[in-house]
Structure 1
Amino acid sequence: MDEVEVIVAHRQCATLRVGDVFLKIDSDQRRSDVEVESMARAPIPTPRVLWRRPPVLALAALRGTALGRLGEPSTASRAAWRAAGAAARTLHDAPLPPWPGRSLDEIASRLDGECELLVTNGVLPADLVTRNREIAEAALRPRTPVFAHGDLQISHVFVDGDEITGVIDWTEAAPGDALYDLAVLTLGHEERLGDVIAGYGAPVDVDVIRAWWSLRSLLAIRWLFEHGFDPAAPGCEVDVLKARM
């Protein structure tokens, strides 16, 4: 019998690997429903669903390795990063999923609440939060929604050489902002943004991507601390905020 490897585990969900099978255990079946339906609709490679017995979803492993990890240098080629940008464009050009995404008012309200908690609880200096909240404002503008992955971090994009072999973790997929996906993909790897944009093949507003870097980090930091992750590690979310000062 293969060893059981814990990929990630916290109060909301856990992912285990046994050989070439990933077992995702989620306390919220709505997220699992979204993941399965999104992978069925996505026009880019995704893991194959082997079986589903709530609360467990079994997925086949993808060929290759992750494009990179937040806080670590990426060894992937420039062509692989361009291919990731092209995959994002293909997804964004697909028909919208039928369920709603988050509204701008909802995002702004959550952002204000998180910023207040970060300062009140002494998690981050007030000037760091204030400056990044100002930058984040540029992301809260009217936009035409696309089929967005919603959590397109580099550890969710798998490559083999220069080829994208699949994208995982679709629980946040919904109609959303194309530039949010590009921002999450390049978070902490700003030097790769040019390659991603080249692969994307459409004009983008880089200032809005930078705004999403700030907004994403501000929203994530408290959750990460509370669930046993370290957003203050080198190259991670706190450093992303400091880079904007």
Structure 2
Amino acid sequence: MDEVEVVVAHSERTTLRVGDMFLKVDADQARIDNEVEALSLVPVPTPQVLWHKPHVLALAALPGTTLGLLGGPATGSPAAWAAAGAAIRKLHEAPLPPRPGGAGRSIDALTAELDTECASLVTNGVLPADLVTRNREIAEAALRPWTPAFTHGDLQIAHVFVDGDEVTGIIDWSEAGRGDPLYDLATFTLGHEDHLDDLLAGYGTDVDLDVIRAWWSVRSLLVVRWLTEHGFDPFAPGCEVDVLRSRM
């Protein structure tokens, strides 16, 4: 071990890699508790929990690489994307966990949060009004009753590891819980919609594509301000603002 690698760092939580071990430091102990619980329940490959203490969770590193990053090129064969889809479907068909997760807010709460965020984006000049208005219209399709499933809650493309055409593990389960399964699919393909067909080849095609597109708008609208305030750049090529612009 020659160095400590900072994987993600902001005021709420930090993830470090030390050799073959990841250390997650979180100001909110409840998120660590939720992750440990989810890791014990999910029927898909996950990193081994080495130990956990107040505000720190140690996990073993996974073999393989991710399928890409938001704002960067997507990698992996169509078969690898299909394998990821099959793993996600297995998760969504698992028995429901005991608590709601990041994708489990009520429709009323989500609508109120979205409307408040849209107003803030326009009032503070973060995004043009027509861009926000158009994506808020598209987002309406996601604001409907759904059948809860076991969801990851923050299933970014960087959270799924593959080796060849095999999924070796899924990481970052702090937002896991009962939620809308199409939110997971939308989060995973955000900025990489050209791979949606490959993903659905493994997941199954009984999904509403308009709802997935709506969740792209919802997620992007909700995170632009948070990302900016925490040192990330949602305006970078291929990231959230580009996703919103692509809906115009």
Q: What's the TM-score, normalizing by structure 2?
A: 0.97
Q: Give aligned-pair identity as a percent.
A: 72
Q: What aligned pairs does 1:105-120 form with structure 2 within 5 A after superposition?
A: 105-120=108-123
Q: Pick one of 125, 139, 146 that aligns with 1:136.
A: 139
Amino acid at match of 1:156: H
In structure 2, which of residues 191, 198, 214 is the aligned counterpart of residue 195 of structure 1? 198
What is the CA-CA distance between 1:75 and the residue it aligns to?
Answer: 1.8
The answer to whether the aligner puts 1:125 opposite 2:128 as a matched pair is: yes
Comparing 7-16 with 101-110, greater Cα deviation is found at 101-110
Taking the TM superposition and a 5 Å limit, the aligned residue runs for 1:81-100 are 81-100=81-100
Counterpart Cα distance in 2 of 1:35 and 1:207: 30
User: In the aligned structure 2, how far is the partner of 1:10 from the partner of 1:72?
Assistant: 21
Segments of structure 2 that go 5 or more residues without pairing to the other structure are none
Task: Name the Cα RMSD after superposition.
Answer: 0.8
Q: Out of 219, 231, 243, which is 1:228 matched to?
A: 231
CA distance in 2, matches of 1:172, 1:146: 13
Q: Which residue number in structure 1 is paired with residue 184 of structure 2?
A: 181
Quote the offset at 1:2 in angstroms: 3.3
Q: What does 1:27-66 align with in structure 2 at a 5 Å threshold?
A: 27-66=27-66
CA distance in 1, matches of 2:184, 2:220: 14
- The reply to whether residue 156 of structure 1 matches residue 159 of structure 2 is yes
Partner in structure 2 of residue 80 of structure 1: 80
Q: Give the number of aligned pairs.
A: 245
Q: Which amino acid aligns with 2:168?
A: T
Kindly provide the amino acid, as one letter, of the partner of residue 212 in structure 2.
I
Code of the residue aligned with 2:193 in structure 1: it is: E
Task: Point out 4+ residue stretches in structure 1 off by more than 2 angstroms.
Answer: none
Q: Aligned with 1:147: secondary structure?
A: strand
Q: Which runs of 5+ in 1 are unaligned?
A: none
SS in 2 for 1:51: strand
**Partner deviation per Cα, 1:159-184 (whole Å, 9 max, x = no partner):** 10111000000011110001100000
Work out the CA distance in 1 between the residues paired with 2:67 and 2:41.
Answer: 23
Alignment of 1:218 with 2:200, yes or no, is no
Please report the TM-score for the alignment, with normalisation by the length of structure 1.
Answer: 0.98
Deviations 1:121-164 (A, max 9, x none): 10000000000000000001111000000011100000101110
